[in-house]
Amino acid sequence: MRRIEIEPRPDWRAKVEAEGLIWHTSAGRPYWNESAYYSFTGAQIEQIEDATVELYRLFLAAGQAILDDQTLLDRFCIPPIFHQAVRDAWDAEPPALNFGRFDLGYDGGGAPKLFEFNCDTPTSLLEAAVIQWSWKEERFAHLDQFTSLHDKLVGKWTDIRALLPPAVHFAHVADDAAEDAVTTSYLRDTAEAAGIATIPILVDNIGWNDDGRCFVDDAEQPIDAVFKLYPWEWLVNEAFAPQLLESLVGMVWIEPIWKMIWSNKAILAILWQLFPGHPNLLETSFDIPAGDAVAKPMLAREGANVSIRRAGAVVASTTGAYGDEGYVYQALYHLPEAAPGCFPVIGSWIVDGEPAGIGIREDGLITGNTARFVPHVIEG
């Protein structure tokens, strides 16, 4: 795994914008960073792919163990009135993409290590599925790249199309950076490529019709199915939580409510309890350990409220509005410094249990919302 510097395409901004990546620059520097790329061997990609398959197997086992043990489920800060709904959705397996991004530490040689699983509101999707492939085709057409993400997403929408109503709403917040808007718009494109009609809506514009006992859009039309890029832990704590619980009986929510378990970092501690010493896991606990560790809120986004502890002292930290629900403490993994100040995290995507490609984000010691996306190729 080598990081190689390269001259960016002179018109790269126009090209990525034409493919939908309007959020390509952050804090005055490129978020989409094609001034470098990572080169992997086929064996290294196979190692990442194998780890992704194995981690998915562990998450399946952990999910069942958590739902079978009320004491474990109670650690996830899910309102008790939703516990049965989570169990019901897990057992029923309602229509879903069942996709997500395993964030991994990897140095090109040792076993990939799980940092967390972003499977409820994963972003950097368009970049991994489309933008880096187009870059590769233009710059290195003779080389390969690990991404089948676009085809697998379209294929999964095709698989579940008959189980969905005539139209699916796609909801997200009106984020200033447009990161959520870009991700949701891209997923609409994949659904439409599978022959599904889509309707965009902002989360704040979703209403409730008391007479029809259903959620409605801004045209007062019933919402029968919705893909939402909005965390379940926020939804279940909103003022309309009782109506939300009622809607779970007949309305299709993508992704389903059981994703609250997998996306909660409490599962990292449960995984270690169930599979201690597993080569793809880092030791994680609900208690502050004696050794070097990373403190992570059980519920957080974009690396907020994370701190790195070495020899009992905090050496790096981020701010944010998370942490009230508690923390987990994960053994510190020393990321390779591929370039001065650049520590790559591998985002390994999965769709319905199958590895679907990788995306690489670079940042400092803590990967946050200022991380930059760097493309990759496969050589050898």
pLDDT tens per residue, range 120-154: 999 999 999 999 999 999 999 999 999 999 999 99
In a domain, 283, yes or no: no
Residues 6 or more apart in contact with residue 70 via CB below 8 angstroms: 83
pLDDT score for 28: 77
pLDDT over 70 at 177, yes or no: no
Assess if residue 315 is contained within a domain: no
Query: Does 69 reside within a domain?
Result: yes
| Least confident window among 30-39, 179-188, 366-375 | 366-375
Q: Is residue 269 part of a domain?
A: no
Q: Is residue 199 part of a domain?
A: yes
**What tokens does 92 get?**
């029923």
| pLDDT above 70: residue 356 | yes
- CA-CA distance, 100 to 379, in Å (whole number)? 26
67 within a domain of the structure (yes/no): yes
Please report whether residue 307 resides in a domain.
no
Number of C-alpha atoms within 13 angstroms, CB side, residue 353? 3
Centre a 10 Å sphere on the Cβ of residue 175 and count the other Cβ atoms it contains. Answer: 14
Q: Which domain holds residue 151?
A: 2-264+335-378
Tokens of 307: 């701190």
Q: What is the pLDDT of residues 210-257, one digit of tens each?
A: 999 999 999 999 999 999 999 999 999 999 999 999 999 999 999 999
| Token pair listed for 331 | 């053994």
The residues pairing with 54 across neighbouring beta strands, listed in sequence order, are none
Angle, alpha carbons 20-24-27 (nearest 5°): 150
Residues 54 and 50: their CA atoms lie apart, in Å, by: 6
Token pair in block for residue 148: 């089948």
The predicted model gives 330-339 an average pLDDT of 94
Can you say how many angstroms the Cα of residue 303 is from the centroid of all Cα atoms in its chain? Answer: 12
For residues 101 and 317, the model is more confident at 101
Q: What is the number of domains present in the chain?
A: 1
272 in a structural domain = no
Output the DSSP codes for 186-237. Answer: HHHHHHHHTT-EEEEEEGGG-EEETTTTEEE-TTS-B-SEEEEES-HHHHTT
Distance (Å, rounded) from C-alpha 373 to C-alpha 15?
16
The two three-digit tokens of residue 298, written as one number:
């059980």
At residue 229's C-alpha, the angle toward residues 162 and 298, to 5°, is 120
